[in-house]
Structure 1
Amino acid sequence: MDEINKNFHNQIKDLEISFDDQKFSNLYDYFVMIEKSSKEFNLTSLSGWNNISNELFTRSLRYIFFLKNYISNINYKFLDVGTGAGIPSIPIKIFYPEISLSLCEPSQKKCSFLEEVIKKLNLRNIKIENERAENLGQSIKRESYDFVLTRALAKLPVLAELTLPLVKVGGKVITAKGKFPKVELGESKYITELLGSKKTLVEKITIPKSLPTDHFIIWEKYKSTPVNFPRRNGIPNKRPIVSK
């Protein structure tokens, strides 16, 4: 256990994240829960500490590059859309327990798993929204979050419609793709501007170098989203609005 702790600490040191034994203990408990419950709750095809810590934990902590100037402010509200097993936000919450976090997940089974994680790790100031993003985006939660995070949720035109209605004017949507998503970026240009984001920022993250590269896509919202977006459940995915 001490060797695993040391190796993980060395791996994330370049991310400049505050690290202590209690945080690692919580992260390891989270790993054990994923391993134990993965098949029952359909959480991930990954298994073993190395695979899960690399792909799910460390790559989630890369989001801190874009959040470090905001994450200590308890007034900011974070939302993880399509969180599944709690990725990317539970690893972030473990290392930054003060953040105000909501988890949006339509699967009741996965929400049950998340409830167990929250209880086991004694996480505070965290809420589960057992809801589709389309419904949440047409509820009183619309345009109420400062940051919306996602990972491996959908192609960018679909993702824009699911997330931009949820973020405040002045807030940001942050997602990560592995390979540079050239085609998706072109396809999403019209819908992102329509829904309130004027500019798309793409940042390449290679730290730690032992892991695959991630390309982070950031949309900052400068105006309110038209009230007819997002469309009904399933429509964004079935009929995405793609730039010509």
Structure 2
Amino acid sequence: MKVLRKALDELSIDYDDEKIEKISVYFEEIYKSSKNFNLTSLKSWEEIRDTLFIRSLRYAYIINTIFSKSNFLNNKNLRILDLGTGAGIPSIPIKIFYPQINLFLTESSSKKCEFLSNTVKKLDLENIKINNQRAEMLGQSKSRESFDLILTRALAKLPTLAELTIPLLKIGGIVITAKGKYPSKEIHDSNYIINILGVEKNISEKIDIPSFLPEDNFIIWKKIKESPVTFPRRDGVPKKSPILEP
């Protein structure tokens, strides 16, 4: 756990032995379940630690930077959504170190939702709701325009992702997604649709700490006006036919 502790120090995230132990239990659950179904292709502790856990905690670093004056991750009243969460990435590692956050996990795979439910119980995490639903359906439900923060990782290209996420944000809410290398084409392609949906511009932040991991470029959208009620479109359409500038 020496490498994990070093990364937490560099990311300015407080921890104790109990939280480190929960990360260990979480790894065991992922490792065990991945033998039974396609949860992740990563197999070793080192791969899962670096790619799933530490790179997820970069989101917490970004959040703490953006909301440095408001102590965002200590506010129980704010609604945080992890859309297309899969194995609980990036939100469960964040929840372990910031247990007070109010978290909603949405995943279209029922097997992954079952894994999440079992894992949340095993880790004794509270204030988490798990929803087995597609993003398009969620965006046309009572959850529309109800979230303060949405996190995603490897869910879709930016034009598609914008349609799936921005309608779910409150005005003033923020979407944060990690894209690895700087996604210049995706950013260009998404400028048109984010404006339609109520976001003024793409904001990017490069994170290269801890330095032993590849850099991540985080794309941030802040919603300034309501999204048209026609978005998101029906299941599958945002991915098959993303809206690009005419």
For normalisation by structure 1, the TM-score amounts to 0.97
Aligned residue pairs: how many? 240
For residues 122 and 12 of structure 1, what CA distance do their matches in structure 2 show?
A: 21
Residue from 21, 27, 30 that aligns with 1:25: 21
For residues 57 and 66 of structure 1, what CA distance do their matches in structure 2 show?
A: 15
For residues 201 and 187 of structure 2, what CA distance do their matches in structure 1 show?
A: 11
For residues 39 and 242 of structure 1, what CA distance do their matches in structure 2 show?
A: 40
Maintained 8 Å contact 1:41/1:113: no
Per-residue CA deviations over 1:6-31 (Å, capped at 9, x if unaligned) read 33101221100011100010011000
Verify: 1:74 aligned to 2:76, yes or no: yes
**TM-fit CA distance, 1:66:** 2.4
Identity %: 57
Verify: 1:168 aligned to 2:170, yes or no: yes
3-state SS of 2:200 partner: strand
**TM-fit CA distance, 1:74:** 1.0
Runs of 4+ in 1 over 3 A off after TM superposition: none
For residues 7 and 184 of structure 2, what CA distance do their matches in structure 1 show?
A: 29
Q: For residue 50 of structure 2, what is the aligned residue in structure 1?
A: 54
**TM-fit CA distance, 1:136:** 0.4
**TM-fit CA distance, 1:219:** 0.2
Give the letter for the 2:33 counterpart: S
For residues 32 and 115 of structure 2, what CA distance do their matches in structure 1 show?
A: 11
For residues 222 and 39 of structure 1, what CA distance do their matches in structure 2 show?
A: 44
Query: What pairs up with 1:150-189 in 2 under 5 angstroms?
Result: 150-189=152-191
For residues 245 and 214 of structure 2, what CA distance do their matches in structure 1 show?
A: 29
For residues 152 and 164 of structure 1, what CA distance do their matches in structure 2 show?
A: 16
Aligned alpha-carbon RMSD (Å): 0.8
Q: For residue 138 of structure 1, what is the aligned residue in structure 2?
A: 140
For normalisation by structure 2, the TM-score amounts to 0.96
Maintained 8 Å contact 2:8/2:14: no
For residues 27 and 48 of structure 2, what CA distance do their matches in structure 1 show?
A: 7
Maintained 8 Å contact 1:93/1:99: yes
Give 5+ residue unaligned stretches, structure 1.
Answer: none
Residue from 205, 215, 237 that aligns with 2:217: 215
**TM-fit CA distance, 1:42:** 1.1
Give the letter for the 1:200 counterpart: N
Residue from 90, 97, 119 that aligns with 2:99: 97
Q: For residue 205 of structure 2, what is the aligned residue in structure 1?
A: 203
Verify: 1:37 aligned to 2:28, yes or no: no
Verify: 1:65 aligned to 2:67, yes or no: no
**TM-fit CA distance, 1:64:** 1.2
